[in-house]
Homo-oligomer: A and B are copies of this chain.
Amino acid sequence: MDLVQKALNNDRLAIAKLLTLAESQDAGFLHASSILFQHSGKGFRIGITGAPGTGKSTLTAKLALAFRALDKTVAIIAVDPSSPFSGGALLGDRIRMRELSGDKGIFIRSMASRGALGGIARTTADAAMVFDAAGFDIILIETVGAGQSEVEIAALVHTVLVVESPGLGDEIQAIKAGILEIADILVINKADLPGVLRTENALMSAFHTSKKHAFRHHSDVETTGSHAPVKEDEGWQVPILRTIALSNEGLIPVREAILSHQTYLLENGYWSEKEKQRLRFEFEEHLRELFFQHWQQMHSEAEQADLMRQLYERKISPQHLALKQVESE
């Protein structure tokens, strides 16, 4: 596999081609994946999630630069149609992203999420594997944190950053209801906006309510906000950090918190635990899809149309029709 060998040597064109194969779940990628997989497992995967409006794309870009300052290579996977990485944002944002271009140590790829029903996690995982095998030290995966996708991102990465911003009112509730559970690091971006203290307090109180923990100061990292609730079950203290990504404020503490979390995972055996969880998750995602594709290949258009007709005429429910198919395999 010339293409794979080139990608393993960090050839950007080869990487780009493999990413396209991954995104389209091309049969050629399946072949490439066996070699890529053997060379993967070293990259540090970091999920960055948060609602639109929190400035998480800017934060992602600035964090990439902060890691570059440590001479680490950085890949960015944007799984968010609103991300400037995907061309979905305003011109100003796209221009800011240019800070990243021209640097051979940075590779940015946006993944189409639209139309890829059930397939986003799979294609994202495959893209991460390409970057991992190509030797990128840091793989940042930016995703909208809402509903299902945040559960999936937690399954795909080592460290989850949840990005919040002041003044979005109800948004705190979103965090309260679920996103907190997957956060390893909480970032309040746009910390120059009014209401930052209220947001910080709301986050702490939400955390407090859900975890029933006392708050302690977090000593490992310098926090601009000085509070750090304890994630008792794992022993990791989730820091709450303030940033103003647009003007480069507070980014080093976030970078250091991420690296502290990596050390924590490695020292306590959680790193390999997370790797195992992720690989099983990836396997199961592929399994569902391949069984489905196999079923499609085994049934002609005419056969499928006939089955659908039974469905449309309400002779059989979707559940039962599916069950019959599985049982007749």
Contacts and interface: CB of A to CB of B under 8 A. Distances in A.
- Most B Cβ at <10 Å: residue of A37, A38, A90: A37
Interface of A: 29-30, 33-34, 36-38, 41, 51-55, 79-83, 86, 88-90, 93, 113-118, 120, 125-126, 143-149, 151-152, 155, 168-171, 173-174, 176-178, 181, 275-276, 279-292, 294-295, 307-308, 311-312, 314, 316-323, 325-326, 329
Given A311-B279, A318-B286, A120 B144 contact: no
A286 B113 CA distance: 21
A83 B296 CA distance: 37
A281 B321 CA distance: 12
A275 B287 CA distance: 28
B286 A322 contact: yes
Given A146-B144, A317-B37, A320-B30, A275 B312 contact: yes
A177 B169 CA distance: 23
Contacts of A287: 291-292, 295, 322, 325-326
Contact of A82 (B173, B291, B294, B312): B173
Contacts of A36: 317
A313 to B, nearest CB: 10
Copies in the complex: 2
A83 B152 CA distance: 20
A147 B47 CA distance: 15
Contact of A149 (B53, B115, B146, B171): B146
Main secondary structure of the interface of A (DSSP, over half): helix
Nearest to A113: B147
A123 B288 CA distance: 17
Nearest to A178: B81
A227 B144 CA distance: 30
Contact of A52 (B80, B148, B173, B311): B173
Contact of A290 (B168, B314, B322): B322
B286 A174 contact: no
Contacts of A37: 314, 316-319
A68 to B, nearest CB: 24
A117 B122 CA distance: 12
Nearest to A176: B88
A308 B174 CA distance: 35
A302 B33 CA distance: 26
